[in-house]
Amino acid sequence: VTVLPAEAAQTQRFAVVSGSGFFIENKLYMLGSRAEIVVSADKFEPLQRLVLSSEQSNLAVTLQPMPASITLNTVPELADISWTVNGQLHSQGPTLAGRFAPGEYQISAEQPYFQPQNLTLTAAIADEIAKTLTLTPVSGELTLASRPAGATVTVNGQAVGKTPLVLPQNGGSYQVQVNLEGYEPVQDTIDITYRQPKAARDYFLQPLQAVLTISTMPQDGVLLLNGKPASSPASIDAGKAYTVRYEKAGYLAQSQSVTLKPAEQRTLSFELKAEMGQVRFSANHTADVLINGKMVGQTPLTLSLQALAQNVEFRKTGYRTVSRTVTPSQRQTQTVQADMLTEFDARRREGKPLFAQTLGINLIEVQLKAF
């Protein structure tokens, strides 16, 4: 049995684990047709192999080198370290531990709030390598401003000054709160990392808010706050005057004025009244008047109708029906006039055939040919 590579042959060892046979140096003497052998060497993985008596008398066995054992940790010990080996993510956690084939490795330990640590290791066969990396915190700063300025700033619960200000800070996650009298407080979380060591914020502070709830009847109208569409409930600036207007087609709009204190909650109610308008209906002949398909009287006729688009029909036996649309208004009386025409007169005015349609006859033009 020839053992490869040469480094393994220097400490080669042989054993028969099953079957009949024995070794003298690197020669196997078999007493049967088969034997299971194990070939081993220092710092190489043992290899188990079945040998048959029918095989050639010279057998080459290649052993694989034992991997190196590498264990790395950090100071401080952190749970969320990303370990990369030769540019590839290997694991995440406080420790890198593994078995590696002999060779050179570029190892990096990364945690957002510390400077990355890089290490080059050369691992030999069956090496046991243990190292501790010291991490350096990121040196950064917080730049905080607000509009308006002069707001009190606390960082992780500690008052640090008023805006604008610049705070040197190590890498980490910071809970920032900005307070100014008469304005809503601002809470923010800011991270200083090795990728972004400088963080800047410019806060636009909002006036203290109040809650305005609007109850409306009828519903599905248009609600306006200082002329802008809004919904209920609405969060509004405390101490600011608002004109609340509610309108809906066919109803008289209403407006109310309101100024709320900080954190105050108030409900306004709107109950719109229907807007009614006078409409006069007239025709050159007495005719029935139908509004939205319902008979309401005969011309001449004056009605009070809601200020919505109304479909009007004038009907009279022997006369063509006249259709109109009118939208009443409270501001002025509307007049709807119908010129009632018989079918004959209507078709003549339109320049259409006078009799065919009334008789129900469809005429077609034909040409006679001589035979």
Q: Work out whether the CA dihedral 104, 109, 110, 115 comes out positive or negative.
A: negative
pLDDT score for 309: 95
At residue 358 the predicted structure's pLDDT band, cuts being 50, 70 and 90, is very low
pLDDT score for 350: 84
Tell me the percentage of the chain whose pLDDT exceeds 70.
Answer: 96
At residue 360 the predicted structure's pLDDT band, cuts being 50, 70 and 90, is low
C-alpha distances out from residue 30 to 13, 18, 55, Å: 17, 11, 12
pLDDT score for 57: 87
Average pLDDT on 179-201 reads 95
pLDDT score for 25: 93
Average pLDDT on 192-211 reads 95
Kindly tell me if the per-residue pLDDT of 203 is higher than 90.
Answer: yes
What are 10-25's pLDDT values in tens digits?
Answer: 999 999 999 989 999 9
Mean per-residue pLDDT over the chain, rounded:
93
Residues 6 or more apart from 317 whose CB is under 8 A from it?
none
Kindly tell me if the per-residue pLDDT of 163 is higher than 70.
Answer: yes
Average pLDDT on 313-324 reads 95
Question: Which one, of 91, 100, 95, 107, lies nearest residue 123 by Cα?
Answer: 100
* CB of 8 closer than 8 Å to CB of 63: yes
Average pLDDT on 262-291 reads 95
- Residue 28: phi, psi to the nearest 5? -100, 125
> Comparing 75-79, 83-87, 118-122, 362-366, which segment has the lowest mean pLDDT?
362-366
* CB of 60 closer than 8 Å to CB of 4: yes
What are 233-260's pLDDT values in tens digits?
Answer: 999 999 899 999 999 999 999 999 999 9
Helix/strand/coil for 350? helix
| Residue 90 tokens, joined | 């290997």
pLDDT score for 65: 94
Beta strand pairing call for 254-259 and 265-271: unpaired
The helix (H) or strand (E) run that includes residue 105 is: strand 103-110
Residues 6 or more apart from 178 whose CB is under 8 A from it?
144, 146, 151, 152, 153, 163, 185, 186, 188, 203, 205
Indicate yes or no: pTM above 0.85.
no
| Residue 112 tokens, joined | 């957002």
> Comparing 117-126, 155-164, 342-351, which segment has the lowest mean pLDDT?
342-351
What are 302-311's pLDDT values in tens digits?
Answer: 999 999 999 9
Kindly tell me if the per-residue pLDDT of 204 is higher than 80.
Answer: yes
Average pLDDT on 170-190 reads 95
pLDDT score for 364: 64
Label residue 193 exposed, middle or buried (CB < 10 Å: 0-12, 13-18, 19+): middle
Q: Residue 95 carries which side chain, given as an amino acid letter?
A: T
